[in-house]
Amino acid sequence: MKKKPLSNARLAALDQLQQVLDHGANLGETESAGSLDPRDRAYAQHLAYGTLRWLSALDWFAGNLMNRPLKNRDRDIHRLVLLGLFQLWKDGTAGHAAVNETAGCAKKLGKPWATGLINAVLRRFQREQEDLTVRLESREERFAHPAWLLKALQQDWPDDWESVVRANNLAAPLWLRRNTTRDSDGLAARFESEGLRVTAHPATPAAIKVEPARPVRDLPGFGEGLFSVQDGAAQLAADLLDCEPGHRVLDACAAPGGKTGHLLERTPDLQLLALDRSKARLGRVEENLQRLGLEGAATLRAADALDSGDWWDGNPFDRILLDAPCTATGVIRRHPEIKWLRSPGQVDEAVELQGKLLNALWLLLKPGGMLLYATCSVLKRENSGQVQAFLERNADAAESFPDVSWGRPARPGRQILPGEQEMDGFYYAALRKTG
C-alpha cells in the first residue's frame, strides 16, 4: 500500500526516525518527507539528523522526565518526545512552537491521549533544563555514542578520541569536486554571485567548500555536470593512485561512482573497469558518469570482486582501487545513524571481508603496480591492522606512500580523523607489488 503523503515536518522527521531505528534504513535514503514543500522538507531532515546525532543524551533526558517508560507499541510517542527535546535543547526552536507543535502530532497519529504527556514532559524539561544538563556532564551519554564504539575510539585514539567524538556530533560541511573536464573554472564565481561563500581545499585542487549548504540540485551547474558532491578526503584517492593514460585500472567496489568519475576526470584515456555487486547501485555509477559527460569512458560490470573468474579477462591491472566495505565510522557526522546501527559483530564481518578482498585482488595486479586500499573508517582493525596483516602474509607487497601534508602516519598507511582539515575520517594505504 502506498504511503499517505505527510504534510507535517515533525511527523515526516518521526517517520524518518522510525525507518532508521526500526528498519535499519540509511537516513539519507528515507523518503517520507518527499511530499513536503522544500522548506519543510529541509526542516524535517534537520530534525531527524539532529535527533539521531544526540540520541543517547535525549534518551537520558526522557528517562529522567517521564514517570515510567512507554510501552513498545508507543515508541512513536517516545520518539516524538525526543524530537521535542532536541528542538528545545539544541535547535533553539521557540519554546511554545516546539512544545505545542510536537505535542499536536500525537493527535495526528491517532493517539490523542499522548498530547498531554508530551506537553508535560517538554514543559518540565524547560523548567529543569539547567539542572539536567549539569547532571548530564557526568554521564557517558553526553558523548552521544554507543558504549562499544566509545571504548573502541578510546582504545585506538587515546589522545584524540574526544575530538573525534566532538567532530562526529557536528554537521559536516558541503564539499564539492569540480569537473576539470568541463569549464568549471568559473564555478566559484557563479556560487558567489548567489551569495554563497566558497573555500578551496589545500590538500586537493578540485575541492571547494560551499556555505551555507544548499540542496545540491539547487546549485548552479549541477545539471551541466560541472561538479559532484564528494568530501575532500574521498577526493584524495585519485591523486594517490597516480594513473597514467592507457593504464588498466580496476575500481573494485565502485558504487556510487564518485571515485570512478574523479579518476576519469583526472586522467583521460584509462582502461577502467568499475565493479559493484549490486546492479541497482551500479546504475547510480552510470547515471553519475552520464551527468559528468563521461558516458562510455568506463566499463561497468555488476559482479562480486571476490569471484574474479566471473569477470576478469586474465590481463593484470596497473592500478587497483579497493574502496573497501567498512563500518563507515569516519563519516558519522554525515550519517549519524551509523552510531546506532553498527555493532561489534559488524566490525568483525567487515574485517573478514576486507582481508578476503585484499587477498583476491592482489593476484590481479601487475608486478610494479599499485593497489590503493581505502576505508571511511577510523577503527584500526579495519585500517592499519588490516594492512599490516596483509603485508606480513605477502612478501611481494610493500608500502609506497608519497609525502603528503594531510592526515597522520598510521604505520602502515595514513589516517585522517573526522574534522581534520574539515575532512571526513578516512584511511589510505598504497601497496606496490614488488615481485
Please identify which of the residues 105, 253, 326, 376 carries the catalytic annotation. 376
Q: Can you give the length of the chain in residues?
A: 435
Q: Rounded to whole angstroms, how far apart are CA atoms 62 and 41?
A: 26
User: The cell 551527468 sits on which residue?
Assistant: 291
What's the rounded Cα separation, in Å, for the pair 272 and 266?
Answer: 13
d(Cα 162, Cα 149) in Å, to the nearest integer? 12
Are the beta carbons of 326 and 308 closer than 8 angstroms? no
The radius of gyration computed from the CA coordinates of the chain, to the nearest angstrom, equals 23
CA dihedral 403, 328, 180, 249 (to 10 degrees): 70
Contacts of 35 (CB under 8 A, 6+ apart): 5, 6, 7
Give the 3-state secondary structure percentages of the chain, helix then strand then coil, rounded to 5. 50, 15, 35
Q: Show Cβ contacts of residue 29 under 8 Å, excluding neighbours closer than 6 positions.
A: none
For the chain, report the end-to-end CA distance as a whole number of angstroms: 59
> If we measure between CA atoms, which residue out of 261, 313, 268 comes closest to residue 289?
261
Q: How far apart are CA 69 and CA 49, in angstroms?
A: 24
Residue 246, number of CB atoms within 10 A of its CB: 11
Per-residue burial over 112-125, b if 16 or more Cβ lie within 10 Å, else e, is: eebbebbbebbbeb
Place of cell 555493532: 343
**376 given a catalytic annotation:** yes
- The DSSP output letter for 371 is E
User: For residue 27, what is the DSSP state?
Assistant: G
CB atoms within 10 A of CB 35: 14
Neighbour count for residue 338 (Cβ, 10 Å) = 21
Q: Tell me which residues are annotated as active site.
A: 376
